[in-house]
Amino acid sequence: MGGFRVHTVRNPVYKDAVVMEEAVRITHRARTRVAAVAAVAGAAALALSGCGSGGDDGGETPIASAAPSHLTGTVSLWHFFSDREAKVIQGVVDDFEKANPDVKVVVHPGQDDEKLRKAIAAGNDVDVAVSYSTDIVGNFCQSGAFQDLAQYIQRDKVDLGQLLPTVRSYTEFDGTRCAMPVLADAYGLYYNKSLLAKAGITTPPKTLDELEADAIKLTTYNADGSIKTLGFNPWMGYQEMAPAHLAPATGAQWLDENGKSLVGTDPGWKELIEWQKAFAAKIGTDKLKKFTAASADEFSAQNDFEIGRVAMNLDGEWRVAFMKDQAPKVDYGTAPFPTGSDHTDLYGGGYLTGNIGGIAKGSKNPELAWALLKYLTTDTAAVVKLANGLQNVPTITSAYESPDLVRDPQFETFLKIAQDPHSLTTPPSPNGAGYQLAFGDWWQKYQSVPGTSDLDAELKKVDDQINAAASLNSVP
């Protein structure tokens, strides 16, 4: 307690004076300290108000009227791939460098979205960035983390019509095209041919009711009544069982044109929820929970479908590569995911999502960055090479016509799903996947509640929650 001293004084007048003097000194000192703290806080706040990697200038920087005839310089590419997949990317980058001998691409592999966003915000050397999630598009377009590509696309006369329509929709937000697709993921149904044949099922189900009937026929039980093998696991949250992946079965929509939630008003959602909950109840909620809890990691060699623990499964096209690698002996087939009985016209579509790439805010070589991005996303040979190597579906129509595209019979299904006009995606939103998480969390809880409650009222609450959360990212 430095600075505080108590004197022994006999004269009360003098004592008061000393106390007063001390009080004044302390008050003065305290004021000085408060002022100093306030000054630091004020200065920090002032400094912070200008933070955010340089503020928003709002306007677009004009670009050269023509694309450079000869490319030179260094450009950085950040992506999230690692190991084998990173080598596939490197192969295409090598081709780009070969075609442009005076260009050096510095590749930063293994960079997830969080690192990417921090790097862009900190003004690190990021030119081209590839993300694994379409969920970032809304925020990256709105915040300017990815630059608007309109000028480049217009100048170089890039035909956006060559992009698959669904893919095209998830790479732009609110009229701003800040991203280009770097391959896509398509979801469909995997079925174990041997198990289906044993149960006397000759063709994969085409409607949700057929799926349920087949699944119940395929389910076997242990002596104690617990599930031994399951026809299809309808438990929400199990592996790829997510609202987004089911939505194309009824054409359920997420958001309206103003970004407001539609989960409470689109009848497709209610249909899916009621079907899923009744299906789970038919098998037995507790049994399903126990069965699901005993499952191994989805991406391990002990994957339920790969070891025959489930006969049919909702999964992405990447499982074809996993099956080749981890379960080559399993006799399986692929098909579009079944649709609601009243939505058979939608059969053939599925959920589509994918990787996206963009030019980072603050890119020091935007022309080079655009040249690399354009090559990775619109050059037919490059896209085909990536698709063959990464075992994802291509995103441009010319790649589908290429004789070089490897067409595995099981993979073919997903190529068709990707091109199907009924395929759906999750729309970009400024708060990323927030609306999907809110709905998914609610659904997972709802399926555990026995009986039926007022579903409309419950969904209205989810709507309100999603809309309220969206206000946290709104632009005034």
Partner 1 sequence: MTALSPTRPAGVPSAPAGAAAPRRRSGLRRHRQRVALLLVTPALLGLLIFFVYPLVATVFYSFTHYDLVSSPRWVGLANYRYLFTQDPNVVQAARNTLWFVVFMVPIRILCAAAVAALLTRPRRSTGVFRTVFYLPALVPPVASVLAFVYLFNPGLGPVNRILKVFGIEGPLWFNDPQWAKPSLLLLAIWMMGDVMIIILAALLDVPRDQYEAASIDGAKGYQKAWYITVPNLRPVIVFSVVTGVIAALQYFTEAAVAAGVASGKALVGEGTGSGLGYPEGSTLTYPQWLYVEGFSNYALGYASALAVVLFVVAAAFVVFLLWRTKSFTGSGS
Structure tokens at 27: 């008050």
How far is residue 331 from each of residues 263, 276, 323, 451, measured CA to CA in Å?
A: 38, 27, 10, 38
- Residue closer to partner 1 by CB (options 56, 404) is 56
- Map the footprint of partner 1 across residues 442-461, applying CB under 8 A: 444-445, 448
* Distance separating alpha carbons of residues 157 and 160, to the nearest angstrom: 9
- Residue closer to partner 1 by CB (options 108, 193) is 108
Q: Does 143 participate in binding partner 1 (rule CB under 8 A)?
A: yes
* Distance separating alpha carbons of residues 312 and 297, to the nearest angstrom: 17
Residues making up the chain, counted from first to last = 476
- Residue closer to partner 1 by CB (options 15, 87) is 15
Minimum Å gap between C-beta 464 and partner 1 is: 8
- Residue closer to partner 1 by CB (options 24, 294) is 294
- Residue closer to partner 1 by CB (options 99, 449) is 449
Q: Does 361 participate in binding partner 1 (rule CB under 8 A)?
A: yes
Residue selected from 76, 139, 250, 423 as contacting partner 1 according to rule CB under 8 A: 139
Phi/psi at 452 (5° precision): -120, 140
Q: Does 49 participate in binding partner 1 (rule CB under 8 A)?
A: yes
* Distance separating alpha carbons of residues 444 and 472, to the nearest angstrom: 24
- Report the DSSP beta bridge partners of residue 255: 261
Residue selected from 30, 52, 60, 267 as contacting partner 1 according to rule CB under 8 A: 52
- Map the footprint of partner 1 across residues 72-111, applying CB under 8 A: 80, 110
- Map the footprint of partner 1 across residues 241-300, applying CB under 8 A: 289-299
Of residues 138, 139, 120, the one with CA closest to residue 128: 120
- Residue closer to partner 1 by CB (options 308, 440) is 440
Q: Does 474 participate in binding partner 1 (rule CB under 8 A)?
A: yes
Question: Strands 352-359, 180-192: parallel, antiparallel or unpaired by DSSP?
Answer: antiparallel
- The rounded radius of gyration (Å) of the Cα atoms in the chain is 29
* Distance separating alpha carbons of residues 218 and 190, to the nearest angstrom: 14
How far is residue 424 from each of residues 247, 249, 369, measured CA to CA in Å?
A: 8, 9, 30
Residues 6+ apart with CB under 8 A from 434: 466, 469, 470
- Residue closer to partner 1 by CB (options 121, 327) is 121
Residue selected from 55, 200, 328, 403 as contacting partner 1 according to rule CB under 8 A: 55
Amino acid at 387: A
- Map the footprint of partner 1 across residues 166-225, applying CB under 8 A: none
- Map the footprint of partner 1 across residues 105-134, applying CB under 8 A: 110, 112-115, 117-118, 120-121, 132-133
Interface size with partner 1, residues (CB under 8 A): 71
Minimum Å gap between C-beta 420 and partner 1 is: 26
